[in-house]
Amino acid sequence: MNTFDTHTTIISNEKVAEDHYLLRCECSDIAKFARPGQFIHVMISQGAGLLLRRPFTIYTVNGREITMLYQIIGEGTKQLSKMRREASIQVLGPLGNTFDIAKNPEPAILVGGGAGIASLMLLAVALRAQDTPTIGLIGAQHQDRLLSVDDLEEIGVKVHIATDDGSVGHHGFVTDILTDLLHKNDLHQPTIYACGPHGMLAAVAKITEKFEVPTQVAMENRMGCAMGVCLGCVCPVYIDDKRIEYQRVCTEGPVFNASDIAWEIS
């Protein structure tokens, strides 16, 4: 695997929604080899008491540049949101496995909850590049936290929106829209790709199992080393009908077949 540890500077770091930012930097080697679903591990500031790097999905690639879409969750991302143009960061990547793009899915359905949509943008670009009909289902708490709608529509993805408070789109969960879509008879051979909170992914897996639709999920377990050493990000995966193995989200993942995850104990 081609992995690079690159010292770079921030080109831009802009607020795009409530508590969400889009950071752009030049990482030519990472940009060259990045694939849908992969992530980077970022050293935010060695002088701010933040000893561990933070993992972020690669959101887009444009020539020598990559972007990452992130949410302020803890002290690390809070510090990152305050960093401006020409501030220094250390970036390791690309890391992890990738989405397996199905042959001729009709259509591909992307299900993103909150900042989980960040893991699906490179995939959306790859799908549209091969003219795959693509539907994006985006869930958010409310309108001010809605992400990536314009980016997806710009490349020809048909977007459906759900918000918890009904401020825009469907009033309810994004999984409600997924269920309605799968009930329709005009979807010839759909494939589902999803990323978001654990509860949402478990719900997606339950729905798509019922409809017998192949589904891949990008897990967002907390990571320490992101290199498979610390074992802090493991999730339970069925090896066969009776045996469960704990696999590392940072190396064996982050992308798994939804049917392989032991959701009842994960």
What are the sequence ranges of the domains in the chain? 4-95, 99-219, 221-266
Least reliable range by pLDDT among 13-22, 89-98, 217-226: 217-226
> What CATH code would you report for 99-219?
3.40.50.80
Beta-bridge mates of residue 66: 25, 61
Token pair belonging to 198: 């654990």
Same fold, 4-95 and 99-219: no
Nearest CA among 131, 3, 130 for reference residue 58 = 3
> Mean pLDDT in the chain?
93
75 backbone dihedrals φ, ψ, rounded to 5°: -65, -35
pLDDT at 185 over 80: no
Give the pLDDT confidence score for residue 53 in this predicted structure.
84
Could you read off the pLDDT of 123-163 as tens digits, one per residue?
999 999 999 999 999 999 999 999 999 999 999 999 999 99
Q: Residue 66 contacts by C-beta under 8 Å, 6 or more apart in sequence?
A: 24, 25, 27, 30, 31, 34, 40, 58, 59, 60
What topology is assigned to 4-95 in CATH? Elongation Factor Tu (Ef-tu); domain 3 (2.40.30)
What pTM did the predictor assign? 0.95
Domain 221-266, what fold? Answer: Dihydroorotate dehydrogenase B (pyrk subunit); domain 3 (2.10.240)
pLDDT at 115: 95
Helices (H), 130-263: 149-154, 174-183, 198-211
Quick one: how many helices (H) and strands (E) in the chain?
A: 6, 16
pLDDT, tens digit, 9 for 90 and up, residues 42-71: 988 655 566 778 899 999 999 999 999 999
